[in-house]
Amino acid sequence: MSMQWPPAPPEPDLGAPLEPAPTALWIDPHPDEPPQQPQRSAVTRNQKLRGRLSAAGAAIVAFLAKFKAIILFLPKIKLLATLGTGLVSLAAYATIWGWQFAAGFVLLLFVHEMGHVIQLRREGVSASPPMFIPFLGAVISARTLGGNALAEARVGLAGPILGSVGATVCVVLWHATGSDLFRALAYFGFFLNLFNLLPIVPLDGGRAMAAMAPWMWFVGFAALIPLIFVLNSPILLLIILFAGFEFRRRWQRRRSGDPAEEAYYRVKPLDRVAVAAVYLALIALLVTGMHATYLARSLG
């Protein structure tokens, strides 16, 4: 929706009409009475006072008009930040994969994060548009992930669900065009969402485990450590360090005995089963998708 710059509000009525000049004129409040000759010094002081009040009032009104315009422009600023960080990530990925694959990959990241945004808003929580971080993916900010662990699980799983839809669209485009570009994008899309289902906070799988079985955070963290040596990735090391701090913080709070924390993790058995069913179904779908779209890389 386009936004019109708000028109400048009329200047406040200070009890006397204003000339185009910035200083107000002195007007006799009793025009029917015989004119009197006030002392010149009093008239001059009143003129100066009204002139200053008029100028101050006009400045305040102008400031408020600009402040209102800035407030109305904030959503556009956030969208510009999303676009700007997306372009930076596109340029970074393009140095490795070329701009076509980089553009598709950034779009898949956007679709994944929008799954979280949409679900957060369904939970009644306002969320920022996605912000991209080159080689680390994308993030959103929100004051909370919902009122309880079940809501957190819904928010966490919404990203891989919508992200899987995005990767599936790439499969359809691959079959429609025969282009291996869409096949490769589909494979990376499935892999991206599968990786996010590792059962460790702050990944999406860790959000699901908050409602299913928080003790699985230990398993997820233990599974991440060998990947440092297998993949030899400094980015993965950063993820593990961040995950370690978040895991420790969450586990200490959960074991603190705080009634609010206990209520947060209190989930009905049927809800646990539902979360587990969605979680396992997503893993099966994503593994199948990766297998179907795998393309052996040619080094020649």
pLDDT in tens, 12-67: 444 444 444 333 333 334 444 444 444 545 445 555 555 555 555 555 555 444 44
On the question of pLDDT at 137 being above 60, the answer is yes
Residue with tokens 């679709």: 111
Q: Mean pLDDT over all residues of the chain?
A: 78
On the question of pLDDT at 130 being above 70, the answer is yes
Helices (H), 123-258: 149-177, 180-195, 204-212, 216-231, 234-254
- How close are the terminal C-alpha atoms of the chain, in Å? 50
Q: Which residues of 100-121 are buried (b: 16+ CB within 10 A; e: fewer)?
A: ebbbbbbbbbbbbbbbbbebbe
Six-digit token string for 189: 């899309």
Query: Which residues lie closer than 8 Å to 242 by C-beta, 6 or more apart?
Result: 202
Q: Which of 263 and 64 is assigned the larger pLDDT?
A: 263
DSSP state letters, 175-204: HHH--HHHHHHHHHHHHHHHHTTSSSTTSH
d(CA 29, CA 15): 9
- The domain segmentation of the chain, as residue ranges, is 103-293
Can you tell me whether residue 123 is helix, strand or coil?
Answer: coil
The one-letter amino acid code at 107 reads L
Max distance between CA atoms of the chain, in angstroms, equals 105
Contact assessment for residue 286 and residue 161, using Cβ atoms and an 8 Å cutoff: no
Q: Write out pLDDT tens, residues 187-215.
A: 999 999 999 999 988 899 999 999 999 99
